Structure formats: C-alpha cells, structure tokens
Chain A
Amino acid sequence: MSAVSGRLGLKDGLRVASVGLRARPLRAALSALGIAIGTAAIVAILGLSSSSQAGLLAQIDRLGTNLLTVEAGQSVTGQDANLPLEAPGRISLLDNVQVLAHTGLLKQSRVYRSSVIPAANSGGLQVRASSLNLLSVLGTGVARGAWLNAGTAREPVTVLGAVAAERLGIDRVHADQRIWLQGQWFNVAGILEPSALATDIDVSALVGYPAAKKYLGYVSIARGEQEAGPPSTIYVRAATGHEAAVQALLAPTANPEAANEVNVSQPSDVLTARAAAAGAFDSLFLGLGIVALIVGAVGVANIMIISVLERRSEIGLRRALGATKAQIRTQFLAESILLAAIGGVVGVLAGAAATAVYASSKSWAIVVPVEAWSGGIASAILIGAFAGLMPAVRASRMAPTVALRTV
C-alpha cells in the first residue's frame, strides 16, 4: 500500500466536490442561476457604463477638446450684449489660435416650412449667418446636399441643421426644396449632421453673411459703412495644450472695452462631464444586482443544507471508507464554491454578452472592465465559501454511525 497519506489530489478532489452537482444537475443549475443572475446584472451594469463612457470619450477624442466658444453675454444692466464686428479678426491674431469660424444670430428672423404656417409656429428654430469655414472648425459633416460656398452665400440659399431639418419635415434635398424665411423663399442647399460641440447649429437655418445682409437686413455700421454682422458666436480652435492660455485671453481680445460682456466656454467640458456621469455606476441597478447575489447566496446555502441532510449515508460511507472530518468538510465546502463559481462564470459571460449586444447596437467600444468580471467571479466564490461553510461543518461533525443508520 502506498505510504502517501490519504490526502486527495486536485483531480480526485474536484470529482468528489462535483458528486452532488452531477447527481442532481437540475437542482445545481437552478441554485447556480441565482448567483448567475446577480453576477450578470453587476457585470452588465459595470460593462454598459464603461462602454457608454468609452463611447463618449471616443466622441470627444474625435471632436477634439481644443474648441473654445466665445459668445455675446449680457451687459451689467442685463441687456443682451453684442460682440464687436472686429472680434473674429482680433482673436485670429492671438498666439496659438489655429482657426476660427463664427455665426451671427438673426434674432428677429424666423423660419417656416411654407408661407401659410402661422407666425407663432416657429418651432424654436433660429436663423444664423455663418462664415464659410464653420463646418471644418466644428468638425461637423453634411448629411445631404452641399454646404454654402462663396456663390450661394450671396443668394437666398440656406443649409439646415439636423434638428431644424427634422422639425421642418425636410429629409432630402432637391432643386425645388424651399423654406419660408422672413417673408421670402430660401432654397435648401443641404442638411447637416448633428453637431455635438455646437448644438445651437442643430436648431438653425444657416445662411451666408452676404445673404443675411442683402435679404435679411443683418447689418451693423463699421467705419461709416454697412457690414454684415456682428457675429454672436465665435468658434476657436486653439493649439492643443494651450487651451487654457487662449481661453484666458479670448474675452478681453473679443471685446477690450467690456470683457465682462463676453462668455467663453469649452463645449467638450460638457461632454467630459457627461462621460464622467456615465462612468458613475447606476447605483439602483447595482444595488439590485447585489440583492440578487445575496438571494443567490441564500439559495446556495439552502441547497447545501438540504444536500447534507439528504446525503447522510454518503457521508457515513465516506467516513467508513477512511475520509477524515476535514475531508468531508472540504468536500462540501468545495461543492458549494464550485456551484457558486459556475454561477459566477455563467453570470459574467451573460453580463458580457449583454454589454456586447447593447454596446454594438450603440456603436460603442465593448468594454467589460477587469474589475467587473474578476470581481464577479471572486464574489461568487466568496459567496460560495460563505454559504457552504455552515453546511460543510455540519456534515463533518455528523457522527458516521448516525449517518449510516438513516436510510
């Protein structure tokens, strides 16, 4: 006979630990299901928030964080202030300013689908004069048709923001596509993609500055001459890494006489904040996941206690075959851990699959954080150990004679 003591090898240990699971697979599956649901919920919630965060961060990366916005604010008396006509020119002279574009809000102008729409039904849409390089500065694309050019900027031609087109019921561009803009027809040349960094553009009908001057009377006097303007919003691309320095100079440069009437902001801040918010766990669902895990743990403990009672004769037999108390304890503890670990692994896979399906439907990157899946499996194992401890101790303390007598 071998001189080795009766300690079980890993393979034998696993085989013995899985006896109960193999003998009653349906029961094992159902009690593992509780753990699986809890783990899946937690992994899916962590995975989805990480994936949506990754999606937003990718969007921010794509749009760039170096866009700064200069807007006309309010005067000290609370009236709407205007930016000086020369503001874009002055800002373009600043160091580390790469490009800029600007729009001018025509506060009196409204836009309608046709001339018979009541004036009050303006749909909350705005009319803006725009510099021709607006799209390249904002990184916004054209969904349909074409953007303004030097020719169409002089004519009654407009390009609609994404939301404006939708509200006007225009989803395609053709030669006769027109809208009613301040008492005259404007041809629609194109429709823009949504602009994440400048949502004002989305709700606007954009026209060229010369057209705004000629057809809509958007003029101010500069050096005794009528000029189209003034701009109400200036979009500035600063050199990466110098955003703060540029931001500090923008207000006094735009309006040296009244820098306090100028609002300067960094639109990507909003997106970054939104990404951070998306990264914060949805605590309600996380809480539900934890509750499911606890319920699962109770289920596993329950099953293990029943299992110990039902398998008295097996325990007695094993003791008769030479199993020590410690080996019986280990067997039931390992069975409980195995049960919970199977639930944990299934749960992690299900949670990851749910994340993958949802994230790809939103075209986000699929991110299942390491902490989510490793934590899911680790907590399942801990739960298994915790739930199995008491039943395992009871099994090991059972007198073999009592165990053998009960059949």
Chain B
Amino acid sequence: MTAVLELDGVSKVYREQPPVAALRGVSFSVQGGELVAIVGPSGSGKSTLLHVMGTLERPSSGVVRIGGVDAAQLDDRELSRLRARQIGFVFQQFFLAEHATVRENVADGLLYAGVAAAERYERADDALERVGLSHRTTFKPTKLSGGERQRVAIARALVGRPAIVLADEPTGNLDSTNGASIMELIGELNAAGATIIMITHDAGLADRLPRQIRMLDGEVVSDTGRDPDVLVAGCKGELR
C-alpha cells in the first residue's frame, strides 16, 4: 500500500515578534485506508498541522507529499485542484450554507472539481445515503440537529471520494450522544475504505482509534504507528 500522505521534517514558523514555531520537524506518513488520531492539548500545533496537511498553508521548511506529489512544487491553481479532488475537510463548526438545502451543501463539495451539476447531485445523494441522511436531502441545515449537520459536512467531504479526509475536532461541537454517533460513522467510513485523519484534543477519544500521533509544542512526541491487525476490527469493536 502506498503512502497517501507523507510529512518529512515539516516546520512552520509564523513570522511574528517574537517568531512562533508552530511545528518543528514533524515527520510521519499515512497509508491508504488508515484512521489516525492526531492528539494534543491546545497550542500543540495540531491545527497548523491540519492546515499544512490540507495544503491550506505552506510549511516553512520540510516536504509535504500528497499521493506522492510534493505540494511545494504546485502553484495556487494546482493546489486548489489537489484540494478539490484529493482532500476532504470536516470542521468542528460544520461550515454549512444555511440558505441552501442539505443536498446542495453536499453537492458543493464537488463544485470546484469540474464535475457536471447532474453528477454532483447524484453523488451527493449517494454520499448522504452513506451518512444515513437520505431522508433529509431537501432540508435546510437550520432544521437539523448538530449531529445531523456534522453528518452533512462529512458527506460533503466524502462526496468527491478524496484520498484523505481531514477532520478537525469533528465532535467538538456535539453532545456525547451525537459525538459517539459521529465517531461510529467515522469508523464505518474508514472500514469502507476511507483514509481519515482526525484532530482532537480529547485523549480518550483518540485512544479508541487504531493509531495515535501525539503532539506537544509543535513536535510529535509519540506515534503508535500503524497496526494492521487492529486497524479495522479493533476500531469498530471499541466503538461498539
């Protein structure tokens, strides 16, 4: 299996006074089909790491490879295309368009990928079925519960069948029931083949995932590494 994401000595220094080193020499790689938790307290650099992995931010030094391609070699247009086709984002705050229907929100995940409208809506319906929201396609997000909204956001991230899904505290705005249900969904999607990297400050949550990368002060302090035996079965077992 090839690495869908590789980080090699990635550092990020914000040029403020004094300069802030958000990431210091971070290196790891993620294989296709993995479910990884990046865990650390706030200020540990995990959000910056997510942005660097998602090519929303360029590292100060080091190499980020997505599907074997060095992101530093790409210009804004090429990076945008990479994001449109290879990376799906799930955010803590959902970021749904309130005036648009659930279906339109999900279909917009493909808006910048050069997919024709009819196909976008078809694939949106598929994605909504995968997250169990087929009965809500014509609803506006304001009519949905927090858990349902996050499912819509996950469907939007999945609709383009990206190589990697980056989830930033996906349960952070949810109560424990909804949070557990979202974690279950993430486990199921991973079992179905999606590569998911989830950022969380919740060590307990991270412990239930097959691999944990622990961050502190911009550095990786531990990486449990990939354990192919517990990858799918262990995760699902624990969540249940």
B160 touches A1 (CB 8 A): yes
Within 8 A of A (CB), among B193-212: none
Query: Is B76 in contact with chain A by the CB < 8 A criterion?
Result: yes
**Interchain nearest-CB distance for B56 vs A (Å):** 4
Given contacts A324-B76, A407-B93, contact A399 B85 (CB under 8 A): no
For A, the interface residue count at a CB cutoff of 8 angstroms equals 35
| A326 partner residues in chain B, CB cutoff 8 A | 77
Report which residue of A2, A4, A327 has the largest number of chain B beta carbons within 10 angstroms of its beta carbon.
A2
Given contacts A314-B95, A317-B95, contact A5 B81 (CB under 8 A): yes
User: Number of A-B pairs whose CB atoms are under 8 Å?
Assistant: 97
Within 8 A of A (CB), among B136-184: 156, 160
Nearest-CB residue, chain A, relative to B93 = A407
| A2 partner residues in chain B, CB cutoff 8 A | 113-116, 119
Nearest-CB residue, chain A, relative to B161 = A1
Interface string of A1-34 (1 = CB under 8 A from B): 1111111110110001001001100000000000
Query: Is B109 in contact with chain A by the CB < 8 A criterion?
Result: yes
| A4 partner residues in chain B, CB cutoff 8 A | 114
Query: Is B121 in contact with chain A by the CB < 8 A criterion?
Result: no
Given contacts A2-B116, A11-B117, A404-B91, contact A321 B111 (CB under 8 A): yes
Q: How far is the CA of A5 from the CA of B109 in the complex (A)?
A: 15
Given contacts A16-B111, A404-B91, A407-B93, contact A320 B54 (CB under 8 A): yes
Interface of B is mostly: helix
A322 touches B95 (CB 8 A): no
Nearest-CB residue, chain B, relative to A320 = B89
For B, the interface residue count at a CB cutoff of 8 angstroms equals 34
Footprint of A on B, CB under 8 Å?
Answer: 47-48, 51, 54, 56-57, 76-77, 80-85, 87, 89, 91, 93, 95, 97-99, 108-109, 111-117, 119, 156, 160
Given contacts A404-B51, A404-B95, 14 further A-B contacts (CB under 8 A): A6-B112, A12-B111, A19-B99, A23-B98, A314-B97, A316-B56, A321-B84, A321-B109, A322-B82, A322-B113, A325-B80, A327-B80, A401-B48, A404-B91
Could you show 30 A-B contacts with beta carbons less than 8 Å apart? A1-B114, A1-B160, A2-B116, A2-B119, A5-B81, A6-B81, A12-B111, A16-B111, A19-B99, A23-B97, A317-B89, A318-B112, A319-B80, A320-B54, A320-B89, A321-B109, A321-B112, A322-B83, A323-B80, A323-B111, A324-B77, A324-B80, A324-B112, A325-B80, A399-B57, A401-B48, A401-B56, A404-B51, A404-B91, A404-B95
